[in-house]
Amino acid sequence: MPELPEMEAWRRALNDPVSAFPIVKAGPAHVATLKTFDPPLSTLEGRRLAGVERRAKRLLFPTEDGELVVLVHLMTAGRLKFLQFGERGPKTPAFRLVFEGGSQLVLTEAGANKRAGVWLLTPEEAERELAHLGPEALGIGTDRLGEICAAESRRLRPSLGERDPAPRETLTVRADARRYTRAGRAARGRDRRRAATWPRAARARHQR
């Protein structure tokens, strides 16, 4: 996960400012950015954030009372900025939280494709939303890494990226489906061209 240093920097930089004062206004949010509608953003008003947590590439802003979580995925072009009172910011950010005293947390996104997302969830919903993610690289430990590597003979990257790997039948169907798609045909063509440069014995094994 090459974005890890950047996401950790966001978490550390925003942790104290966003928890200093209660929220007085939540939103507005771009229609393509806000991914949930219930509960409405207005339920954040009057609450205080407990800080910032990180889960993979996502930032989580839990409320101090433990009832809500603001989940933010910046994708490629999303940027967060904390504005002090009086500091100029974008006129129409993709998402905005205004705090008591006039400071703001704003989300902007460059380009026409709005891929960054904001979810307002309960803690249980947030847990379900993140359930597919793999283990955290900073906290996995050698014992857990050994368990993952020993569980199945496969490449390391997909093993680490799946918390709950798909059943064998599903993986087989996905592999077979590649035969009938344009992407699958292109991938097989690349494989054949690559195999043509191998020694004869290795090429024979690949063709089998």
Band (pLDDT 50/70/90 cuts) for residue 180 is very low
Per-residue pLDDT band for 181 (boundaries 50, 70, 90) equals low
- Separation of alpha carbons 106 and 95, rounded Å: 6
Vertex 139: Cα angle to 6 and 5 (nearest 5): 10
Look at the pTM and tell me if it is higher than 0.75.
no
Picking from 95, 89, 100, the residue whose alpha carbon sits closest to that of residue 72 is 95
> Is there a domain that residue 84 lies in?
yes
Residue 165's pLDDT band, with cuts at 50, 70 and 90, is: very low
Instruction: Please indicate, yes or no, if residue 98 is contained in any of the structural domains.
Output: yes
Average pLDDT over residues 128-145: 80
Q: Would you state the pLDDT for residue 151?
A: 78
Of residues 106 and 167, the one with the higher pLDDT is 106
Instruction: Kindly state the DSSP code that residue 61 receives in the 8-state scheme.
Output: E
Q: Which pLDDT belongs to residue 171? A: 36
Query: Which residues make beta-bridge pairs with 34?
Result: 118
pLDDT tens-digit map of 28-83: 999 999 999 999 999 999 999 999 999 989 999 999 999 999 999 999 899 999 99
* pLDDT score of 199 more than 90: no
Tell me how far apart the alpha carbons of residues 160 and 137 are, in angstroms, rounded to a whole number: 9
Q: Is residue 76 part of a domain?
A: yes
Q: Are 114 and 38 in contact (CB under 8 A)?
A: no
Instruction: Kindly report the CATH number assigned to the domain that includes residue 111.
Output: 3.20.190.10
Tell me: pLDDT of 208 over 60: no
Distance CA 21, CA 83 (A): 13
Report yes or no on 152 lying in a domain.
no
Instruction: Determine which helix (DSSP H) or strand (DSSP E) holds 195, and give its type and residue range.
Output: helix 182-195
Query: Residues 12-25: pLDDT tens digits?
Result: 999 999 999 999 99
Question: Average of pLDDT values for 167-192?
Answer: 49
Amino acid letter, 14: L
Q: What is the mean pLDDT of residues 171-179?
A: 40
Provide the CA 16 distance to its chain's centre, in angstroms. Answer: 22
What's the structural domain count of the chain?
A: 1
Q: Does 24 map to a domain?
A: yes
pLDDT of amino acid 49 = 98
Q: What pLDDT is attached to residue 74? A: 94
In a domain, 92, yes or no: yes
CA distance 61 to 70: 5
Highest mean pLDDT, choosing among 69-78, 142-151, 163-172? 69-78
Which residue type occupies 201?
A
Look up the domain containing 14 and give its range.
4-129
136, part of any domain: no
Gap between the Cα atoms of 61 and 73, Å rounded: 12
What is the torsion angle, in degrees rounded to the nearest 10, for the CA atoms of residue 79, residue 127, residue 132 and residue 28? -30
Q: Classify the C-alpha dihedral 158-32-50-7 as positive or negative.
A: positive
- CA 104 vs. chain centroid, Å, equals 23
Question: How confident is the prediction for the chain on average, in pLDDT?
Answer: 82
pLDDT score of 204: 54
